[in-house]
A and B are shown apart, each in its own frame.
Chain A
């Protein structure tokens, strides 16, 4: 099981045929296992890691936003977190320990759109006590993947 997840994490587009070759399990069995993992929510979805910096034309802007909130009775941080993460601009939302509570990753077309989102949607919320916005300048590595193209490793083609 762990093996299958490791392989899929590395390459979600691998065929069942290759997966069978790599794990030594039969294809139908693997289909069943993956199906189960999907149903259980262990595998949430399959997506591509895209380096948008290489795309021509319009670029989007990413910001990490630290949010200080006051928790609410009975529901703690969950209710306010839900209110915030439902905005489609919010790509990720984490509750953290430390000097602030929620960390958001927000995507917008420009610095202005992100600023507008903070000023108009986020900051006015009653439980939000303060925000700090960091705009992202460059991505080097994401989810374990180094985004720059790897240089080919030089090896002789044949040796003893």
Chain B
């Protein structure tokens, strides 16, 4: 059977921790801090809208770019929230989640062997999508000491050395929870504006921020024309299963992305698109969820630090990236043992880049009671099974 499989796919590095995931799925009574989605269901008014649209018989295709009504709402939202102006007719494309938007962007931009800078630790799909387009990954590794943030000098050097076609930014970031203030972003834009490369900015967690308001990358003067802005509904509105997101950018880029989209996806599901319109009018629900996440963040980060797992305070998302270095175990060993002994699931850091073997990703998108239970179990684990 092997001979039928393409070399590109065969060579695509599989996730090294798949086995660990399978083990987690098989274990019973697990308290999981390993989930990359909200524990809330989508707010009721959004679900109700989905049900109503089905009752009304909205089950057809939509235009390739998505319902104009939704694109208008997205344009309105971006203008109101961020003072970003995108033309709903030509500069916005509704995608089946940001995952598709990212794939479209990379496919539309990259020729074989062209390079893309990825900021590590990063979401698992980025390197895979680049490789599927026969592109080459230029890793920019960030460290705990740097707060997992891009060092502008390092960025400059990498660009000079490798002449990449694009860079994928992601903030607030999965898996670190790190985000950038307006001033920090300005410094990055100062470097990027002088070079000739495209910015693909995955800002799916934009509304889940705690310490400062999110600034979209395309908000800087001159940046809009050089940025593909990717936004979505999955995390902000707890709509992961709806699979709906959007891409914004110059009409020439959106046109090419739409072309691919029209052949491989046709359109995002109409039920999800109609629900997304409702979502954009559900900011109260988002505020409620973010307030909850913030409480949990403060709790979990202070508990982890007091247990000796060094953890930076995440500025967005519902993840924190904790060091397990002083246990003497690799993250995969740590996660496996933690699961086996006290049934707590976390994601080993090496899933997000091989150099991150000293870290685990902890998601606090779980009810407070579960987080408390998890901390109790981790404490017990530390006392009984770890040397230090």
A residues in contact (CB < 8 Å) with B:
18, 21-24, 153, 155-160
Contact = CB atoms under 8 A, between A and B. Distances in A.
Nearest to A157: B32
Interface string B24-52: 11010010101111010100000000000
B299 interface: yes
A159 B18 CA distance: 10
Contacts of A22: 295, 298-299, 368
A44 B31 CA distance: 36
B351 A160 contact: yes
Contact of B372 (A18, A23, A155, A160): A18
Contact of B298 (A24, A155, A158): A24
A155 B295 contact: no
Interface in B1-40: 21, 24-25, 27, 30, 32, 34-37, 39
Contacts of A23: 295
Given A157-B25, A158-B32, A160-B347, 9 more contacts: A21-B303, A22-B298, A22-B368, A155-B35, A155-B37, A157-B34, A158-B24, A158-B25, A160-B351
6 contacts: A18-B368, A22-B295, A24-B298, A153-B39, A155-B37, A158-B347
Given A18-B372, A22-B295, A22-B368, A157 B345 contact: yes
B372 A158 contact: no
Interface in B251-281: none
A145 to B, nearest CB: 15
B54 interface: no
B299 A159 contact: no
B123 interface: yes
A22 B209 CA distance: 18
B368 A158 contact: no
B345 A158 contact: yes
A159 B36 contact: yes
A22 B24 CA distance: 29
The 10 A-B pairs with the shortest beta carbon distances in the complex, nearest first, are A158-B34, A157-B32, A159-B36, A158-B24, A21-B299, A160-B124, A22-B295, A160-B36, A158-B345, A157-B24
Contacts of B368: 18, 22
Given A22-B368, A155-B35, A155-B39, A160 B299 contact: no
A10 B24 CA distance: 32
A24 B37 CA distance: 25
Contacts of A159: 34-37
What secondary structure prevails in chain A residues at the interface with B?
loop
A6 to B, nearest CB: 9
> Which of B36, B39, B123 lies at the interface centre, i.e. has the most chain A CB atoms within 10 A of its CB?
B36
Contact of A156 (B35, B123, B295): B35
Interface residues of B, number: 26
Name, among A22, A153, A159, the residue most crowded by chain B CB atoms within 10 Å (CB to CB): A159
Contacts of A21: 298-299, 302-303
Given A21-B299, A24-B298, A159-B34, A153 B41 contact: yes
Contacts of A156: 25, 35
Nearest to A158: B34
Nearest to B38: A155
A149 to B, nearest CB: 15
Contact of A158 (B21, B39, B41, B299): B21
Nearest to B23: A158
Contacts of A160: 36, 123-125, 174, 347, 351
Central interface residue in A153, A156, A158, by most chain B CB within 10 Å: A158
Contacts of B39: 153, 155
Nearest to B32: A157
B265 to A, nearest CB: 21
A24 B30 CA distance: 28
A24 B300 CA distance: 11
Interface string B282-310: 00000000000001001100110000000
A144 to B, nearest CB: 13
Nearest to A14: B368
A98 to B, nearest CB: 28
Given A21-B299, A22-B299, A24-B298, A157 B35 contact: yes
